[in-house]
Structure 1
Amino acid sequence: MLFHLSIAARDPRHVAQVIAQFWRGEAHPFPPVTPDSWIALAGDDRGTAIEVYPLGTVLREAEGDADSLGEPTPQTGYTATHAAIATVLSQEEALAIAAREGWPAKYRKRGGAFGVIELWIEGHQMVELLTQEMQAEYLALMAGEGYRAMLAAGAPA
């Protein structure tokens, strides 16, 4: 199970606050890794969170008995890193928040099996939002035998 992940954004504070809205959670500063980082907390019983670092931050191993550290780099733009996250909001509520932020978002049916709201944070970082109905579709495919059955039926690799 996933407890947290990290992404990068131009405005980490604002992005963490908006992600927290999808969960009806909270956003707070997150200084342990690198300055100006924020964290969105879902407020669930698993401590689900997304850490949001300044765009261009990379994580590096620290030597000796020390935690890893965040280091700025000139990297910007798109990444393969993304997450599918649950939301308690309806599709309409989630799309309204995306529209308010000016972030591209649309409904997509992944592989004809489950729906997602494909949301592009700040126009470059993809997050898939799953409403309660979409979560049920996702779990039907990804939990238990569903995925193996799809592959055995000849679904595209």
Structure 2
Amino acid sequence: MIHHLSIDARDPLRVAGVLAEIWKGKVYKFLIPGSYLVMPFDNYGTHIVVFKSGDVWIPGADIEAAKVNQAAPTDFVSAHAAISVPISHQQIEQIGKREGWRVLTRKQGNGNPFSAVEFWVENRYLLEFFSPEFTPQYLQAMQPESIDRILGQPIDFAPV
């Protein structure tokens, strides 16, 4: 279970507002200046923190906790998340188009094990959204027998 994640954005407040709209959540100022927390208030404490572009987590020294530091912003990132949301894929598409962001609904079939909406926040950060009609497909595709069929057998690691 993933309870939260953080992303960065050129316009963190705008991005947080859009994510709250899709998630039917609320936006709060976060502990780091210029960053925001989006909460749907589900049963798991799930949330997304939207930092300003270039903010990155770095380890603390010795017993010091991790902290956020400003680094050079990047155009794209390797991290992405897949999130079930309470609105239809058509509503997600409308929101993305309104914002001027790339949105693509991938339907199950032709090599896609499940349907999802590719939602490119600020045209640089990928979030995959599962509308209520897509979530069951995803959950079915993530079962052990489906994963084995799609990816083959798991890798066995010998104890060290």
- TM-score by length of structure 1 reads 0.89
1:44 to 42, 66, 76: 42
TM-fit CA distance, 1:60: 0.9
The equivalent residue for 1:129 is 129
1:63 to 52, 58, 61: 61
Moved more, 98-107 or 140-149: 140-149
The within-5 A match list for 1:4-153 is: 4-31=4-31, 34-109=32-107, 111-152=111-152
Partner amino acid for 2:121?
I
Question: Partners of 1:30 and 1:88 in 2: how far apart?
Answer: 24
- TM-score by length of structure 2 reads 0.87
Partner amino acid for 1:84?
A
How many equivalent residue pairs?
A: 151
Q: Secondary structure at the match of 1:145?
A: helix
Question: Partners of 1:12 and 1:73 in 2: how far apart?
Answer: 16
The equivalent residue for 2:157 is none
TM-fit CA distance, 1:64: 4.0
RMSD between superposed Cα atoms in Å: 1.6
Q: Secondary structure at the match of 1:133?
A: coil
Question: Partners of 1:144 and 1:17 in 2: how far apart?
Answer: 36
Question: Partners of 2:83 and 2:13 in 1: how far apart?
Answer: 19
TM-fit CA distance, 1:62: 1.5
Q: Secondary structure at the match of 1:21?
A: helix
TM-fit CA distance, 1:151: 2.9
